[in-house]
Amino acid sequence: MEFLEALEQSGLARSLKASFVIYPVVNALHVLSIGMVLTSVMLIDFRMLGGFQAIDRQSFIALLRRVALTGFCGALLTGFAMFSIRATEYAAMPVFLAKMGLIVLAALNFLVFVSLQEGVSSPNLLRASAALSLVLWLGVLLCGRFIGFL
């Protein structure tokens, strides 16, 4: 709890609270980053589930994976900045904790997906991982939206 209280008093949190411009810019960058993650992940998942057959799978996934990782890093940085403003409050919210748990599960699923894709594995396992990814990331999105309204 002391760490969270210190985070709320940090220079980062104070700057975000004091500026009329910085917080909305950080928030907009967070939304943009989430959009990058969700769009690229969903396109990868849809490709793995049988969509976009005319596009070379490996090239398509390689490109979108880079977009997803860039967006994830952006979302992580901007999300941490926004978290710093009300860290103790957010950390006590079940929906915030659910969002963090879903992100961890989605990241683990991504690692499984990569290992399945690089190894010789069943296409059914890859499709199952893609379907799970869709569910997890949509859950992250929904939880994130609820945080703003609770």
What's the whole-model pTM score?
0.87
- The Cα–Cα gap between 62 and 67 comes to 9
Can you give the pLDDT of all 150 residues of the chain as single tens digits?
899 999 999 999 999 999 899 999 999 999 999 999 999 999 999 998 988 888 888 899 899 999 999 999 999 999 999 999 999 999 999 999 999 999 999 999 998 888 877 766 688 888 999 999 999 999 999 999 998 777
User: Domain limits of the chain?
Assistant: 2-147
Burial category of 106 from C-beta neighbours within 10 Å (exposed 0-12, middle 13-18, buried 19 and up) = buried
